[in-house]
Structure formats: C-alpha cells, structure tokens
A and B are shown apart, each in its own frame.
Chain A
Amino acid sequence: DAKTTQPTSMDCAEGRAANLPCNHSTISGNEYVYWYRQIHSQGPQYIIHGLKNNETNEMASLIITEDRKSSTLILPHATLRDTAVYYCIVRVEIPGNAGNMLTFGGGTRLMVKP
C-alpha cells in the first residue's frame, strides 16, 4: 500500500472546522484513501473513504485533490469528543480474495480545545 504522510499533531478550537491533511504522492489509480480515528484506549473507528471523488457522510467530508496525491479530512464543527489520533491510510483494490489488511502510520493527534 502507498505510504502516507500526516502532521504529527494539530489543534482546533471547539466549534470550528478541523482540516486534517494527508499526503500520498505515490498512490496508484486503484488505491482508496481511508480515514480512521482512535480515541484513547479504544479501537480505531472508521470515518470515511474515497477513491477519486469527494465524499461526505454524517461524520466528515473527504476532499481528494484531482491528481489524488493528497487529501483533507474535514470535521465541520469539531467538538471536544473529536480529540483523537486520526489515521490516513491508502488501500489497494484487488479483485477476488486478495486479503484485507491496513498499514497504519503515526497519524495526526488532533486536540480540540474549548
């Protein structure tokens, strides 16, 4: 899977949008961008994923650049409960029973402050 680069940490004011960047300059055309977050002592929580187009769900929006070499996760109105480590991961699309595994980097530690 392609390697990702994320800032080690970020701060965000409560109620403001949190924009978390991720670089994946070696991404291939069949690789998806996935975002997870991990709140202390809990399992990683799936947030959103995308291939080419921007995506939005009830938790967040994912903006992928046209060349797909970077993406941004947007939490529109951050709350204190959004304080967590956010992981950006790229996964390859392989037809058939080729396997499911994720390669985690260090992620971004987002601190939402009052």
Chain B
Amino acid sequence: KAGVTQTPRYLIKTRGQQVTLSCSPISGHRSVSWYQQTPGQGLQFLFEYFSETQRNKGNFPGRFSGRQFSNSRSEMNVSTLELGDSALYLCASSLGRGTGRNTIYFGEGSWLTVV
C-alpha cells in the first residue's frame, strides 16, 4: 500500500511569487492535513481537509490556503511568498473518522526555499 505522496520534493521560488504543493493521501484516507516545519517554530499545523471541506485551521495568514478534491487528493497554495515561508511542508493523512484511534501518517515533505 503506497504511503502519503508529496510533490514536488524540492523547489526554489522568488519572493513575491506563489507556490502550489500537492499531496496524495494513502488509499482510503479521507482526511488530509498540512504542517509547516521551520527551525525556529518547529512543526506547526496549517489546516485539515475532510470530504473537500476545511475542518480545522491553524494560526497562519490568509496567504496560506488549501483545497481537497473529490478523490481526497489535496493541494496547498502560498501566495506572495516571503523569505520566512522557507520551510519543510508536510502532508499527512488518516481515515478521518474519530481522532484518537485513527493514526495519522506523514509524507516525506516538500522543501520550499524562498530567495
């Protein structure tokens, strides 16, 4: 069974540009969530989608957005990139029903560098 797949793995963008990252969850998983990891702030929750609807949102500015498609695949977008957006962006998936019992699995992440 394939794991959580994220593309691209590495990318470099210029300040002011926008970026779209893609995530394919584990087959059968309907919940997809996104996290940002930086050396200074650690791992922080961005948002979660379930059945194409945003179910939870972390404390990030509106420049960070996402969506989920009917096949559960998800994309996140960051507009007007800033140098501080340089980070490892992680996607995670789970079955979606209930919380404590359903394990969340992570992808390998997308490394974004803003120059």
Contacts and interface: CB of A to CB of B under 8 A. Distances in A.
Interface string A10-39: 000000000000000000001110101000
B55 A93 contact: no
A96 B109 CA distance: 28
Contacts of A101: 33, 45, 48, 56, 58
Interface stretch (B12-20, B60-68, B69-77, B92-100): B92-100
Nearest to A30: B100
B56 A99 contact: yes
A96 B101 CA distance: 12
B24 interface: no
Interface residues of B, number: 33
Nearest to B43: A104
Most buried by A among B43, B92, B107: B43
Most buried by A among B55, B58, B106, B109: B106
Contacts of A31: 100
Interface of A: 30-32, 34, 36, 41-46, 49, 51, 87, 91-106
26 contacts: A31-B100, A32-B100, A41-B88, A42-B109, A43-B4, A43-B92, A43-B106, A43-B109, A46-B103, A46-B106, A92-B99, A93-B99, A94-B99, A94-B100, A96-B98, A97-B50, A99-B99, A100-B50, A100-B92, A100-B99, A100-B102, A101-B33, A101-B45, A101-B58, A102-B45, A102-B104
